[in-house]
A and B are shown apart, each in its own frame.
Chain A
Amino acid sequence: NAGVTQTPKFRVLKTGQSMTLLCAQDMNHEYMYWYRQDPGMGLRLIHYSVGEGTTAKGEVPDGYNVSRLKKQNFLLGLESAAPSQTSVYFCASSTLYSGTGASYEQYFGPGTRLTVT
């Protein structure tokens, strides 16, 4: 199993350009997430999905859109990139952990380093 994969690994955009980051998982997980990681800050949730065809906003959704047309894929779009969106983006997936204290162990992709100039 490949786990969670992300493409591309690196990208440089000019302000105003658009792009789509692709996340794919082969673990049949229901939940998928997009995070951004910035220096000195914890991972912050951008958008997430609890199943195929459904998406929801996280903590920092502005400037991003997402789609989950297939269970295994979760796309993150930047319609008009801004320098403030320079960051490392991580995708993750999870399923319900059916042990004591229901919780969701998350599996992370390798990250995409995006620079907007």
Chain B
Amino acid sequence: KNEVEQSPQNLTAQEGEFITINCSYSVGISALHWLQQHPGGGIVSLFMLSSGKKKHGRLIATINIQEKHSSLHITASHPRDSAVYICAVPLSNFGNEKLTFGTGTRLTIIP
């Protein structure tokens, strides 16, 4: 069974700062997911990546398959980025349709 660890658990930063959230997992995977949970509770998928780097607006996700590690970066952070960011990977080596989730990083951006 794959295990997922995220760090930090909580992060508070000033508006405009560069943010990094980390995710490590224990078993080799085909793809890693980053999700965002809004303060109201809704969950949306941000990225799904299996190698290298992906960019969407001010969000950048990178993955190092050999080191079993991924990072989510936010450039020029804004208060609307305040949310819980969740990393997820396939639950096991058998079948990619089931995911296991990290406990999330709660990000607060202060104006």
Q: Interface residues, chain A, CB within 8 Å of chain B?
A: 31, 33, 40-45, 48, 50, 58-59, 88, 90, 92, 94, 97, 100-108, 110-111
Contact = CB atoms under 8 A, between A and B. Distances in A.
Given A59-B100, A97-B48, 8 more contacts: A100-B51, A102-B31, A103-B33, A103-B50, A103-B96, A104-B99, A108-B45, A110-B41
A101 B51 contact: yes
B67 interface: no
Contacts, number: 68
Interface of B: 4, 30-31, 33, 35, 41-45, 48, 50-51, 86, 88, 90-91, 96-104
15 contacts: A40-B103, A42-B4, A44-B101, A45-B98, A45-B100, A48-B98, A90-B43, A100-B51, A102-B30, A103-B31, A103-B48, A103-B50, A103-B96, A107-B45, A108-B43
A103 B88 CA distance: 12
Contacts of B4: 42
B41 A103 contact: no
Please provide the 8 A-B residue pairs with the shortest distance between their CB atoms, ordered closest to farther: A101-B50, A103-B31, A42-B101, A108-B43, A101-B30, A43-B101, A101-B31, A42-B103
B44 A108 contact: yes
A46 to B, nearest CB: 11
A104 B95 CA distance: 10
Contacts of A90: 43
Nearest to B89: A103
B46 to A, nearest CB: 10
A101 B102 CA distance: 21
Nearest to A101: B50
